[in-house]
Amino acid sequence: MAFFDNPVIPGFSPDPSICRVGEDYYVATSSFEYVPGVPLWHSRDLVHWRLIGHALDRPSQLTLPDDAPSSCGVYAPTLRYHDGRFWMITTVVAGAGNILVTAEDPAGPWSEPVPVGIPGIDPDLAWDDEGNCWCVFSHGGIRGVRIDPETGELLGEPVEMWSGSGLQYPEGPHLYRIGDWWYLLLSEGGTERGHAMSVARARSLPGPFEPHPDNPVLSHRSTGHPVQNTGHGDLVRAHDDTWWMVLLGTRPRGDTPKFHGMGRETFLVPVRWEDEWPLPGPLELRAEAPRLAPHAWPAEPHRDDFDSPALAPCWVSLRRQDPDAVRLGERPGHLMLRARADGMDRPGALFVGRRQRDADCVARTRIDVGDEGRGGIAVRLDEAHHYQVEVEDGTVRAVARIGPSRTTVAERRVPAGPLTLRVDVTTEDVLPPTVTVRPADPDAEAPSGLRVGGPDTLRLGYETEDGHVEVLAELDGRYLTTEVAGGFTGRVIGMYATRGEAAFDWFELRPA
């Protein structure tokens, strides 16, 4: 018996939508304010996934305003395969609205977006036996309408279909024709701890739909399960005729109410059928694997030496792609960043990062800012919640932005020239809800009565030429979590420039 570990796509990878073509499986996930938009993943066993590209990978498809709020941008996509083509429909909040793109190969190229004239969010696509394309979406409930997928034109007025069991925020609908029934799967209760999944069925469209008598059919709310916020799932029938579901969940840690820093991740659960109803679960962190031929892809490199002519698909930027500000090849073996704003909390901030995928990890980079630059390494949740280690004018400093407060926690003079900056994320011990600045008095005792707080500790520092790690500060990880900051994303760790230019020789993000 083979087993696999959940999540199958760790790190900030929410709202998964899945489709199968033969023995190949593809998943699309949300990207919010990061570009390129809509990551696309490929698997042959539902367990091992590799990033093959993005559906919205060029400025003509996706550019967000510099002042678009964090957690706006690209919401829950639906990925489908029909009539020899891949179809992806999604909502660009604070942007183009609902759009649809197509491709013959999910790795691209994808078409220019076609606007779809529906309101609301979370659109879904399904085709009936007559070839009609139905678009189901969330707008004051779950509604559906026939559309022309080539033009985005509505072929009628949207009608209410089914809006769940009465919980708040019915959303993320997916419509399926399976056997003699149409099934409508949706999430409700909000994407926080109350998240749940419910299902209904109808003999024909647009209904009426009858709900499962025991809805919700999956939820971890009010339980001690290590995975919470479960919902927004999508069904797939494997090529061995078993059924599975991908869905989002979080792994909160620390003191009450517990906190998750890596965002909503993609999990895999089996689906059983009872009385012609699909029932997902259970969700386990270590579970029996699908009985498909195992197919492990080569591991994604932890280190990038910036020797390639283009950035790897794992790298994302904020809101727009800017080849004038993000340059490879100009200085051999370096990534050059040119500042667009004077702070990480300013509109237009230049940041290039990778998703945090391991709870315990180390991020390192070698930076040279010359005489007039300022830049560094940052762990980012949003504009108002990030930690930075930066170098400027022979000074290295640790900076914490928490809500309205931006604080230089510690700084130190360093020799001129390239410097290796470092962030260690550890769950082995967590701090009281205060900032500890190094060097600390080794004889001092911690104040009594303080409770352990966040899910992890972030150590910000740099390395000397002989490899010694100098820790400038240790910060509580709770302030870089959705429970504190709000929003829909997870941590992204990467490089930035906030004055002049910064040259990065390499970047490494590896499990600790």
| pLDDT tens-digit map of 378-387 | 999 999 999 9
443 as an active site residue: the answer is: no
Among 15, 45, 57, 483, the one annotated catalytic: 15
- d(C-alpha 477, C-alpha 253), whole Å: 10
- d(C-alpha 291, C-alpha 39), whole Å: 26
Strands (E), 139-217: 142-148, 153-154, 159-160, 171-178, 181-188, 196-202, 210-211
DSSP 228-292: EEEEEEEEEE-TTS-EEEEEEEE--BSSTT-B-SS-SEEEEEEEEEETTEEEE----SEEEPPSS
171 as an active site residue: the answer is: yes
* Residue 499: pLDDT band with limits 50, 70, 90: very high
The pLDDT, as a whole number, for residue 441 is 52
- Burial class from Cβ neighbours inside 10 Å (0-12, 13-18, 19+) for residue 162 reads buried
For the segment 140-144, the average pLDDT, to the nearest whole number, is 97
* Residue 1: pLDDT band with limits 50, 70, 90: confident
Query: In 10 A of CB 133, how many CB atoms?
Result: 19
Among 33, 45, 124, 171, the one annotated catalytic: 171
The pLDDT, as a whole number, for residue 443 is 57
For the segment 473-485, the average pLDDT, to the nearest whole number, is 96
pLDDT at 164 over 90: yes
Q: For 173-187, how does the pLDDT look when each residue is reduced to its tens digit (9 = 90+)?
A: 999 999 999 999 999
Instruction: Name all domains of the chain by residue range, CATH numbers in brackets.
Output: 16-220 (2.115.10.20), 303-511 (2.60.120.200)
The pLDDT, as a whole number, for residue 359 is 97
The full 3-state SS of 459-500, as one line of letters, equals EEEEECCCCCEEEEEEEEHHHHCHHHHCCCCCCEEEEEEEEC
- Percent pLDDT > 90 in the chain is 93
For residue 221 the two structure tokens come to 């709310």
Give, in order, the Cα–Cα distances in Å from 304 to each of 53, 73, 353, 494.
17, 27, 12, 12
Give, in order, the Cα–Cα distances in Å from 38 to each of 24, 28, 100, 271.
19, 6, 12, 26
For the segment 144-152, the average pLDDT, to the nearest whole number, is 98
